[in-house]
């Protein structure tokens, strides 16, 4: 019996090592320096995260071969996935997967998973993609890879209706309940760690038990998914949910790690469905009453009315010849492309953008402990420099699908686009309000005049157009010369004038229209293709800088406070592979 116990213990240890159970062990192997030959020769060293199983075939290929996509779903998690009386799976997640299969022209094959089996079925290749309440948590990034967030939920706090609490800080020193086996415990712990708020925590087996304890004043608050809390309140006036979230709860689609082309197809399809309004329709059907941002999924350049099809993407699984983090830790310097050598008389907008980009990457490198080595005058070919290995990262990269076959693109850290500037006291908001008025356009912006005519025509509003020769004259033509009633152009060219004339100028917000922007250009960073650990390091760092407010401060010259984008922050600890990011 003793020999059996020893043998069994050894088998357990071997199994845990095989699945990459020990994060510290994985990180240690991942960060071992990789030797090189004579620099700068690239050496094909696959220093992938320990525990990663290198894919020999993409799910993209298998889906086309089978003409079917196998989707892991929960069958007992309304409103996300439910098996109905007809034996069909429906719900927000299920219907989203069906729509994606329709776009690809393949059969939708639902596969039942549970919260315990879903990840194993995905990593072992039994399913091609996993939905089913998949929350993109950082601790899961070592096991699987995630798509864009398609629903931005939150872990929230429910209190009694007559409770005086208005913010999370008001819950200090009080009793808070949560349901065992849910993400609430982690959300509460991270919130307390970052805020310093102390509270007594009590677990319950079900949400109904927790709510009953709240009503009976045994506890003072309940933390759970916001949509779950809205369902537990039996009627209006029987509880209130605080506006401030305990933590983010981003829902995403999980795929196997480093299946980059398959992930890109999924992301491109999510953008396509967002552009069509399909995601918003599904949200209204299944998650009515919860807020849904129309810009949750950013639309990159290259998204058209044409549906993305599997054969349009590369079919291979490319791996880096050398992974970035071990090499960077050897040299302690990061080569950055995307900068410009501006002349002294460059327009103010270019100077501000250049200074902002450099400040952002230098702040990030400081967190990593790396020196920044800029590749001179490299804005025009920044993506190619990263793709060829001559740069480690490129800043200021417009997010565009044409680059996705060369590099990986991060989430956007800033945006700019077409806006309208008017006098602060004028009541102009839309092109309908500008009927018969004069609109200035920048002569340096190709196609701007046609764009204004198009927008005016769509509003059935005739306008006259005035060409603004110099960017520096945008405020003068409105305030002093009175040549125009409004100036239309890229926000980067308008913001300096608004900030310099805060009492006299503003950007319009288009009244009740939910989006003040006439167009959006999302700007992110380019990193080596399929180098997942380095991409995650960059993503986490951007998120932590937004969480702390550092990013908003750095973007102050190119974005107005009310226009700062809401970062998609994945829940989890702030440290990654030994880097202190918080």
Residue 272 has pLDDT above 90, yes or no: yes
pLDDT score at 52: 62
pLDDT score at 288: 80
Residue 217 has pLDDT above 50, yes or no: yes
Structure tokens at 325: 């983090």
Strand, coil or helix: what is 420?
strand
374-383 pLDDT, tens digit each: 999 999 999 9
Structure tokens at 570: 């994945």
Average pLDDT, stretch 304-315? 95
**Residue closest to 405 by CA, chosen among 313, 337, 320, 531:** 313
| Confidence label for 495 from pLDDT (cuts 50, 70 and 90) | very high
pLDDT score at 504: 97
Higher pLDDT among residues 539 and 51, named by residue = 539
Residue 307 has pLDDT above 50, yes or no: yes
**Residue closest to 253 by CA, chosen among 146, 142, 154:** 146
Highest mean pLDDT out of 11-20, 72-81, 263-272, 289-298: 263-272
Judged by phi (left if over 0) then psi (alpha if -120 to 50, else beta), residue 273 lies in alpha
Give the CA radius of gyration of the chain.
Answer: 26
Average pLDDT, stretch 239-260? 96
Comparing 12-26, 53-67, 92-106, 559-573, the range with the smallest average pLDDT is 12-26
Whether the link from the prior residue into 130 is cis, omega within 30° of 0, is no
pTM for the model stands at 0.88
Average pLDDT, stretch 230-249? 92
pLDDT score at 287: 86
Q: Determine whether 164 is exposed, middle or buried from the number of CB atoms within 10 Å of its CB (0-12, 13-18, 19+).
A: exposed
Residue 179's contacts (CB-CB under 8 Å, 6 or more residues apart) are 203, 204, 205, 206, 207, 210, 224
pLDDT score at 54: 86
pLDDT score at 259: 97
Query: Buried (b) or exposed (e) across 36-46, using 16+ Cβ within 10 A?
Result: eeeeeeeeeee
Q: How far is CA 98 from CA 101, 103, 480, in A?
A: 5, 9, 58
d(CA 283, CA 150) in angstroms, rounded, equals 10
Structure tokens at 77: 């998690």
153-247 and 418-507 share one fold: yes
Residue 534 has pLDDT above 60, yes or no: yes
| Confidence label for 41 from pLDDT (cuts 50, 70 and 90) | very low
Superfamily assignment of 59-150+252-312 in CATH?
Periplasmic binding protein-like II (3.40.190.10)
Strand, coil or helix: what is 92?
helix
497-520 pLDDT, tens digit each: 999 999 999 999 988 777 899 999
pLDDT score at 19: 39
Q: Rounded to the nearest 5°, which phi and psi values hold at 405?
A: -85, -5
- Residues found in the chain: 582
Residue 177 has pLDDT above 90, yes or no: yes
pLDDT score at 159: 97
- Domain borders along the chain are 59-150+252-312, 153-247, 324-416+520-580, 418-507
CATH class of this structure's domain 418-507: alpha beta
d(CA 163, CA 165) in angstroms, rounded, equals 6
* Ordered alpha helix ranges (H), 377-432: 382-387
d(CA 13, CA 30) in angstroms, rounded, equals 20
| Confidence label for 236 from pLDDT (cuts 50, 70 and 90) | confident
Residue 209's contacts (CB-CB under 8 Å, 6 or more residues apart) are none
pLDDT score at 565: 84
pLDDT score at 46: 39
d(CA 136, CA 121) in angstroms, rounded, equals 17
CATH class of this structure's domain 153-247: alpha beta
**Residue closest to 270 by CA, chosen among 280, 284, 258, 260:** 280
Residues 263/255, Cβ–Cβ less than 8 Å: yes
CATH topology classification for 324-416+520-580: D-Maltodextrin-Binding Protein; domain 2 (3.40.190)
Residues 483/439, Cβ–Cβ less than 8 Å: no
Residues 491/416, Cβ–Cβ less than 8 Å: yes
pLDDT score at 33: 31
């Amino acid at each position: 019996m003793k020999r059996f116990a020893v043998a069994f213990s050894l088998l357990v240890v071997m199994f845990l090592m095989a699945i990459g159970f020990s994060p510290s062990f994985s990180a240690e192997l991942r960060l071992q320096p990789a030797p090189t030959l004579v620099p700068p020769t690239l050496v094909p060293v696959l220093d992938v995260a320990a525990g990663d199983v290198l894919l020999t075939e993409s799910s993209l290929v298998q889906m086309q071969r089978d003409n079917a996509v196998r989707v892991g779903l929960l069958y007992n998690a309304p409103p996300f996935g439910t098996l109905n009386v007809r034996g069909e799976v429906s719900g927000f997640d299920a219907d989203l997967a069906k729509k994606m299969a329709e776009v690809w022209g393949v059969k939708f094959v639902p596969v039942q998973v549970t919260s315990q089996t879903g990840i194993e079925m995905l990593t072992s290749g039994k399913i091609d993609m996993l939905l089913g309440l998949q929350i993109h948590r950082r601790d899961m990034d070592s096991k699987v890879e995630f798509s864009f967030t398609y629903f931005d939920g939150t872990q929230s706090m429910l209190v009694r209706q007559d409770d005086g609490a208005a913010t999370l800080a008001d819950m200090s020193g009080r009793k808070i309940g949560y349901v065992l086996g849910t993400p609430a415990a982690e959300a509460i712990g991270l919130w307390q760690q970052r805020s310093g708020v102390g509270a007594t925590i009590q677990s319950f087996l079900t949400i109904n038990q927790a709510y009953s304890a709240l009503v009976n004043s045994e506890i003072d608050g309940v933390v759970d998914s916001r949509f779950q809390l809205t369902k537990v309140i039996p009627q209006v006036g029987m509880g209130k949910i605080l506006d401030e979230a305990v933590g983010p709860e981003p829902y995403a689609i999980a795929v196997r790690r480093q299946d980059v082309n398959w992930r890109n197809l999924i992301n491109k399809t999510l953008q396509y469905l967002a552009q069509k309004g399909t995601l918003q329709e599904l949200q209204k059907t299944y998650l009515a009453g919860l807020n849904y941002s129309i810009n949750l999924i950013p639309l990159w350049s290259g998204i058209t009315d044409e549906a993305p099809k599997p054969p349009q993407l590369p079919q291979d699984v490319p791996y880096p010849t050398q992974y970035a983090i071990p090499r960077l830790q050897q040299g302690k310097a990061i080569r950055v492309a995307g900068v410009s050598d501006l002349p002294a008389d460059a327009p103010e907008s270019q100077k501000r953008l250049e200074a902002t980009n450099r400040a952002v990457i230098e702040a990030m490198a400081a967190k990593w402990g790396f020196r920044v080595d800029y590749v001179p005058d490299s804005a025009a070919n920044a993506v190619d420099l990263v793709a060829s290995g001559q740069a480690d990262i490129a800043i200021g990269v417009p997010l565009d699908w044409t680059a996705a076959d060369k590099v990986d693109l991060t989430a956007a850290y800033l945006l700019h686009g077409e806006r309208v500037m008017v006098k602060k006291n004028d009541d102009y908001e839309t092109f309908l309000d500008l009927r018969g008025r004069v609109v200035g356009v920048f002569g340096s912006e190709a196609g701007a005049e046609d764009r204004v005519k198009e927008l005016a025509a769509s509003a059935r509003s005739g306008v006259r157009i005035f060409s603004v020769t110099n960017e520096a004259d945008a405020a003068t033509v409105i305030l002093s010369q009175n040549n125009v009633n409004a100036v239309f152009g890229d926000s980067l060219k308008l913001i300096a004038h608004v900030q310099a004339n805060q009492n006299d100028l503003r950007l319009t917000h288009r009244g009740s229209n939910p989006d003040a922007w006439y167009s959006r250009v999302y700007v992110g960073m380019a990193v080596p293709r399929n180098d997942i650990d380095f991409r995650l390091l960059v993503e986490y760092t951007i998120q932590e800088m937004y969480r702390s407010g550092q990013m908003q401060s750095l973007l102050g010259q190119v974005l107005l406070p009310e226009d700062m984008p809401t970062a998609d922050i994945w829940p989890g600890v702030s440290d990654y592979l030994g880097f202190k990011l918080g």
